[in-house]
């Protein structure tokens, strides 16, 4: 009855967690699994339906449905699944096997093997599909190893049935070492698995809130807060000997809003933001810094490389067709570039790159400014647009 009560408590916890964030449908599956398991335990304990055969089949079906719901819930969290058809076939296979080894060839021992080994293999299959979690964050790693331990525990405890006759009675089962080990292992490992899943769900919600806080809603890339936070982490990590920062500002953006309207201005911002993100390397940090200004932080990049990167971005924007601006509509942007110096903090780096950006704007826009790099084809450090 203790396990039944815990199952219902866990069910309430999963459903409450789902109410907090209804996008996490996997919590519903887990919330349903707990009462299914509790119903299986009650069916077995109270002898409902009456008759050993009917009771074995019904309780076994409930247990199996609970196991599949737990496994699918854990898989759904990572975007994976056995599939509904597979789940139905597994459930039918268990029901038919349990019925056969009662009505066809009566063997309680075989039914124990079917359920314990079968459930162990279901959870092992789920763990196999989720091996990537072992290389993930701390909570993901804990969830994977607890799931694996839970899957494996079904096998050694079944050894305790060695020496039992094929059809020993239910009373003998209730007083056996196997049954006591089963109850204890379920109470400990099942609770551990549930707590790991709940911790993962809470972590997911927190990560989503952080992501929503740090992502610019219009462009889908980092906002200024998210950008500065990630750059600060990089700079604190002591890997700042080679890195650079680029600022990009869309030229004459106020005129675009005044002539075409703010909806077109928003579309331009989205396009430029997605364009910068697409052209950046995987390790680069791209942000809409504010208004029509964007920032790109480039780890492991010196001033000359960053300058050349900014030029490629500038030329790509100038060459891009923006239909929202109409036929012949042209968009340009100005860039400022600087590399991190040994004694830099974020404030000093930001001010230096911002000054470079405004130097490019004052010089006529649609160009890249940097005191630290030179274009191979230019005499100065201010690159004129090529026409």
Residues recognised as catalytic = 292
- Length of the chain counted residue by residue: 387
HEC string of the chain?
Answer: CHHHHHHHHHHHHHHHHHHHCCCCCHHHHHHHHHHHHHHHHHHHHHCCCCCHHHHHHHHHHHHHHHHHHHHHHHHHHCCCCCCHHHHHHHHHHHHHHHHHHHHHCCCHHHHHHHHHHHHHHHHHHHHHHCHHHHHCCHHHHHHHHHHHHHHHCCCHHHHHHCCCCCCCCHHHHHCCHHHHHHHHHHHHHHHHHHHHHHHHHHHHHHHHHHHHHHECCCCCCECHHHHHHHHHHHHHCCCCCCEEEEEEEECCHHHHHHHHCHHHHHHHHHHHHHHHHHHCCCCCEEEEEECCEEEEEEECCCHHHHHHHHHHHHHHHHHCCCHHHCCCCCCCEEEEEEECCCCCCHHHHHHHHHHHHHHHHHCCCCCEECCCCCCCCCCCCEECCCC
């Amino acid at each position: 009855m203790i396990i039944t009560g815990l199952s219902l408590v866990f069910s309430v916890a999963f459903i409450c967690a789902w109410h907090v964030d209804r996008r996490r449908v996997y919590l519903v599956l887990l919330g349903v699994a707990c009462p299914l398991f509790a119903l299986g335990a009650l069916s077995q304990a109270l002898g409902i339906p009456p008759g050993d055969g009917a009771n074995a089949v019904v309780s076994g079906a409930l247990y199996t449905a609970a196991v599949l719901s737990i496994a699918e819930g854990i898989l759904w969290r990572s975007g994976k699944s056995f599939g509904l058809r597979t789940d139905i076939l597994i459930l039918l296979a268990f029901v038919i096997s349990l019925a056969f080894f009662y009505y066809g060839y009566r063997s309680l021992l075989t039914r124990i093997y079917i359920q314990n080994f079968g459930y162990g293999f279901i959870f092992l299959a789920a763990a196999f599909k989720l091996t990537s979690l072992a290389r993930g964050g701390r909570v993901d790693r804990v969830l994977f190893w607890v799931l694996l331990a839970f899957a494996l525990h079904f096998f050694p405890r079944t050894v305790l049935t060695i020496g039992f006759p094929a059809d020993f009675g239910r009373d003998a089962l209730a007083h056996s070492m196997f049954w006591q080990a089963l109850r204890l292992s379920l109470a400990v490992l099942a609770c551990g698995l549930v707590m790991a899943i709940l911790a993962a769900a809470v972590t997911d919600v927190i990560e989503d809130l952080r992501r929503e806080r740090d992502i610019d809603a219009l462009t889908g890339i980092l906002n200024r807060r998210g950008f500065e936070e990630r750059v600060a982490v990089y700079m604190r990590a002591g890997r700042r000997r080679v890195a650079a920062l680029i600022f990009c500002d869309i030229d004459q953006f106020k005129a675009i809003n005044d002539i075409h309207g703010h909806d077109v201005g928003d579309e331009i911002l989205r396009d430029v933001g997605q364009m910068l993100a697409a052209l950046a390397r995987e390790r680069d940090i791209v942000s809409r810094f504010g208004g029509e200004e964007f920032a790109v932080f480039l780890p492991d990049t010196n001033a000359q490389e960053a300058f050349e990167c900014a030029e490629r971005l500038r030329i790509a924007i100038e060459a891009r067709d923006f239909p929202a601006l109409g036929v012949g509509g042209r968009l340009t942007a100005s860039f400022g570039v600087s590399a991190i110096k040994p004694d830099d903090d974020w404030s000093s780096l930001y001010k230096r790159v911002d000054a470079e950006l405004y130097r490019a704007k004052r010089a006529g826009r649609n160009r890249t400014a940097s005191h630290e790099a030179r274009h191979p084809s230019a005499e100065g450090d201010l690159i004129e647009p090529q026409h």
